[in-house]
Amino acid sequence: MSKENEELENLGEGVEEQTTETITRVTGMYKEWFLDYASYVILERAVPAIEDGFKPVQRRIMQSMKDLDDGRYNKVANIVGHTMQYHPHGDASIGDAMVQIGQKELLIDMQGNWGNILTGDPAAASRYIEARISKFGLEVLFNSKITEWQSSYDGRRKEPINLPVKFPLLLAQGAEGIAVGLSTKVLPHNFIELIDASIKHLQGKRFKIFPDFPTGGAADISNYNDGLRGGKVRVRAKMHSPDKSSIIITEIPFSTTTSTLIDSVLKANEKGKIKIKKIEDNTAANVEILIHLPPGLSPDKTMDALYAFTNCEVSISPLSCVIEDNKPLFVGVSEMLRRSADHTVELLKAELEILLYEVEEQWHFASLERIFIENRIYRDIEEEETWEGVISAIDKGLKPFIGHLKREITEEDIARLTEIRIKRISKFDIDKAQQKIDALEDRIAELKHHLENLIQFSIDYFTKLLKDYGKDRERKTELKTFDDIVASKVIIRNTKLYVNREEGFVGTALKRDEYIGDCSDIDDIICFTQEGVMMVTKVDAKTFIGKNIVYVAVFKKNDKRTIYNVIYRDGKKGPSYIKRFAVTSMTRDREYPMGKEEKGSQMLYFSANINGEAEVVTINLRQQGSIKKVKWDIDFSEIIIKGRSSKGNVVTKYNIKKVELKEEGVSTLKPRKIWFDDTVQRLNVDGRGELLGEFRGEDRLLIVTQKGIAKTIIPEVTARFDNDMVVLEKWIPKKPLTAIYFNGERELFYVKRFIIENEEREESFIPDHENSYLEVISTDYKPMAVLVYLKPRGKEQPENEEVNLEEFIAIKGVAAQGNMLTKIKVKQINLIAPLPYEPEETISAQEIEVNQEEVVNPKEEDTDRNEEINASKVDPDAPDIDDRGQSSLF
């Protein structure tokens, strides 16, 4: 091998050696380092400890505030700087964490602008705001004698491993954190309810705790699942409608602000899901968001739409994860509270034991001091010249008098005796010394009693916390069960739907073709063609259905009230059939033929009837062969309503020339039954709650409130009801209302009977005086009342008086004042069983299954039909469709 080749070979080996040295495999590094990083984030940053409920940064902030505490406020910037002695991260994270603790208004007394959880406004810079530990925080967080300590990150200071928190702080404040592959979300709970639950646990009783949010609102906790994974809490804003043109939001859901909520409302409006005129944010100390509505828009339906499409309703998924023994622990909030209460008992026991030891030491030295001075043992050391001699002399002098002591005398005890000054010895008062010893003995007995009755002592401790700090901490979030809002029922239909019947296209982009009605982008539409094909498809810009479309409308799933009346020919030369059916559900974009034959079938007559009307039609046959009867009538009411796939009844096997409408029909469906569910304060047709009655299209509901307002409404399932409602029943127009009210101006009770004359207007039937109020109201025909009078001073109790209110006063107008009930002072007015009365008989209705849609208002019925029911001509000579959606195709 040449020298040149040897040099090249050696160079190659050197490169290979150099390459081998620089390659580092990251497999092990990733496995170890990433695990270390994940563990650090979980344990030291994101997840709170179960012992005290604090994340490390929060614990270090509170310890720093304790170090600086002198009863006065400290600059937050100063506290942040002091905390950095414990916390190995930047000042921004410390300041943000401190603001979050302060905004919960439990552990920190704040001064300055600390931000606003309602509007989302941030706090002022840390140099401008001040803070100190609250009295509650000082009482429940700190006790250095029972605190375990560890070195800080740089070893210069000692910081607590956990603070001795004697309160379920984690549940009161809540916690949220995202770590590596792990997260936690503990919802805040009510201060008073947590203390009550802790006491119940210590008493061995069952308890339940539920979230309470600082922003208020209403919450449905039916699926809370004790705060564990898989649970869900639905939170809604509180809103009301002061009039028909506006809605006011007064409380917002947790995790939202007025800014984010308003943004969500504006986005929903831009997308056409809701319709508003304008929105104003008048929030100051309390939330007030004013939404102005366009004329003619229902506030009740708009409120449902706000819940369905905006942040007025949010869903929160709790995930209770904490750190215990340096490991993540998934545990429910009930178990958290049990552990907190038990931990509090252990801490109180430790405090009592330390306190007992200290008091016993005080008693021991006070007893030694008395023996030392009273028996003048100090004189025995006058001749001693060494320290050992002094100790020995005092020990020898004490021995005859120490039989009652509770422990042996140590050299430290004797050394303390030698430190007593001559001035104290000269002024020693034996009686005062004995009183001090007696007081210490009483204190020792008290502490031992507490230790023997530790559970009762803990209960008393929680009771004292409730008494001292429970003021103004009542529940802010109302717990209730929410009704499910179906988006398709409350969305605003802001898109126009068009059809090209001849070409067979349906969509929102066909603006040059026939207008069908309004729809929304989440609606489905149902279509029928002349060939007897039905299809349901989603609203789109342009969709091909099939040529010669007969009928198009917005499809309502599970609608059993809309009945389709059809006469069709099955196949090219097959017989003709008649059928009535409802379409409740099917597969989207699938073609469904009317009969069994798919080719050559033809629709001869079609009508869509939103209230199940059944008309009479005339059948005309073509004259051929020996057919004797070529014309006869068919009444659709005689045809049983069956399923969509039913073939129907045979009309004729001969060729039909045309079908003519002879007589419009009436609804063959019975009145629907409507119930009121008091749990969710909503109407329904599913049998939940109290049955209000059987309602036809023209029927209305009567509502009377405690404020003395009477009104009638159409019974829609979207209707909302006031909390002070005292009457809710089916309105009978000729049935009088009888009210007994207190006239605030005259300070007397009055009776009035009236009938609601204007069904479209709210009527106030008591005087507009601040002291006027409604006492009782009856909707009976012949109501009876009992008056319980006050006992006059020095006289006998007057007997109760029964009053027939029908005879007492005649029916007058709503605005009438009525008749004075009595001049005697009344203690109580009670309604009793009314006198018998037989009203006119009404038609009984059979219970049927119906779609949960609003009852049809007869004044809007024609409009609804024109918008929803339409059909088509088969050819230019075919007759036009009438206003009931009926069509004769021949």
Which residues are annotated as catalytic? 128
Rounded distance between C-alpha atoms, residue 581 and residue 606, angstroms:
12
**DSSP code, position 688:** -
Residue 37 has which token pair? 């990083």
Query: For the chain, percent helix, then strand, then coil, each to nearest 5?
Result: 30, 25, 45
Rounded distance between C-alpha atoms, residue 64 and residue 58, angstroms:
10
Cβ pair 313, 275 in contact under 8 A: no
Rounded distance between C-alpha atoms, residue 574 and residue 77, angstroms:
91
**DSSP code, position 53:** -
Secondary element (H or E) of residue 621: strand 613-621
Cβ pair 684, 674 in contact under 8 A: yes
Rounded distance between C-alpha atoms, residue 298 and residue 716, angstroms:
11
E strands along 446-513, which residues?
A: 478-479, 495-500, 505-507
Residue 757 has which token pair? 């004359």
Rounded distance between C-alpha atoms, residue 491 and residue 675, angstroms:
24
Rounded distance between C-alpha atoms, residue 886 and residue 878, angstroms:
13
Rounded distance between C-alpha atoms, residue 236 and residue 482, angstroms:
9
Question: Nearest to residue 107, comparing CAs of 70, 135, 71, 145?
Answer: 135
Residue 490 has which token pair? 């409350």
Geometric angle at alpha carbon 888, from 882 and 890, rounded to 5°: 145
Where does residue 90 rank: exposed (0-12), middle (13-18), buried (19+ CB within 10 A)? Answer: exposed
Rounded distance between C-alpha atoms, residue 852 and residue 560, angstroms:
10
Question: Nearest to residue 864, comparing CAs of 879, 850, 885?
Answer: 885
3-state secondary structure of 828: strand
Tokens 């005879």, located at residue: 807
Rounded distance between C-alpha atoms, residue 534 and residue 555, angstroms:
12
**DSSP code, position 70:** S
Tokens 């299954």, located at residue: 849
Number of other residues whose CB lies within 10 A of the CB of residue 89: 16
The dihedral through the CA atoms of 275, 281, 282, 283 has a sign that is positive
